[in-house]
Structure 1
Amino acid sequence: MIYKLLPSTEWDAARERGRFTGSAVDREDGYLHFSAADQVVETARRHFGGATGLTLLTVDPARLGAALRWEASRGGALFPHLYGDLPVDAVVAAEDLPVDRPAADAVAALLP
């Protein structure tokens, strides 16, 4: 599985449309940013520290096809990038993060 952190309001809008077209940083970079299980806590710490109203998506990469690419990013590690919209039917779980915990701690508690 791969993971996506995003504002809950963006996930709500994506469910209505049937697809997620990306947050501002995704659109700026030209692809949707995802993390592997061993990367998502650090992603939460670096990019979502202090943020509230977040949702963690668990996505089945097998449902994304050739638009999903693993590319070097932070520290040379390979990260999953999706060159296209995320169909909501590729999301196997969506968990709202509690607002009373740092995002990284909340994400760590949700991982298998």
Structure 2
Amino acid sequence: MTIYKIMTADTADAFRRAGSFAGAEIDLADGYIHFSTATQAADTLARHFAGRDGLVLVSVDEDALPQPLKWEPARGGQLFPHLYAALPWSAVVGVDPLPVGADGVHQLPGVVSGAVSGTVV
């Protein structure tokens, strides 16, 4: 299964160069790296990244992770994937820009937008 991490393009570039990612500030505070599924990505963008430029969607192959994900309840009881380890660059299968459209919402890439109706609402 592919899971998704939203981050700035600069953070993704630093991640690529370093070969691993320990997490964003919120991840470090919570003790795990937050991910979203394809159907959760739009809501995550709307709630936590609304209107921010310079973001990318990092696609991660769950099977390439150094340890199994923990699926834990969060928003509305939905189960979200959490990684209690550093994320290796070798698990990344794609990085796509998340441009903000004229309407102020992020435009998701095709594979994710099909799961979430095309844009963040």
Provide TM-score, normalisation by structure 2.
Answer: 0.83
Provide the residue aligned with 2:83 in structure 1. Answer: 82
Q: List structure 1 runs of 4+ shifted beyond 3 angstroms.
A: 99-103
Alignment RMSD: 1.7
Structure 2: runs of 5+ lacking an equivalent: 115-121
Structure 1 residues 48-90: Cα deviation after superposition (integer angstroms, max 9, x where no partner): 0011110101111011143411111111110000101110110
Secondary structure (helix, strand or coil) at the match of 1:5 reads: strand
Instruction: Report 1:89-104 matches (<5 A).
Output: 89-100=90-101, 102-103=104-105
| Structure 1 contact 60–90 (Cα < 8 Å) conserved | yes
Match of 1:31 in 2: 32
Q: How does 1:13-24 map to 2 (within 5 A)?
A: 13-24=14-25
Correspondence for 2:43: 42
TM norm structure 1: 0.89
Partner of 1:5: 6
- What secondary structure sits across from 1:10 in the alignment? helix
Are 1:18 and 1:87, in contact at CA under 8 Å, matched by a contact in 2?
yes
SS at match of 2:99: coil
Q: Which runs of 5+ in 1 are unaligned?
A: none
- Work out the CA distance in 2 between the residues paired with 1:107 and 1:75: 23
Q: Is the 8 A contact 2:33 2:83 kept in 1?
A: yes
Aligned residue-pair number: 111
Tell me the residue number matched to 1:54: 55
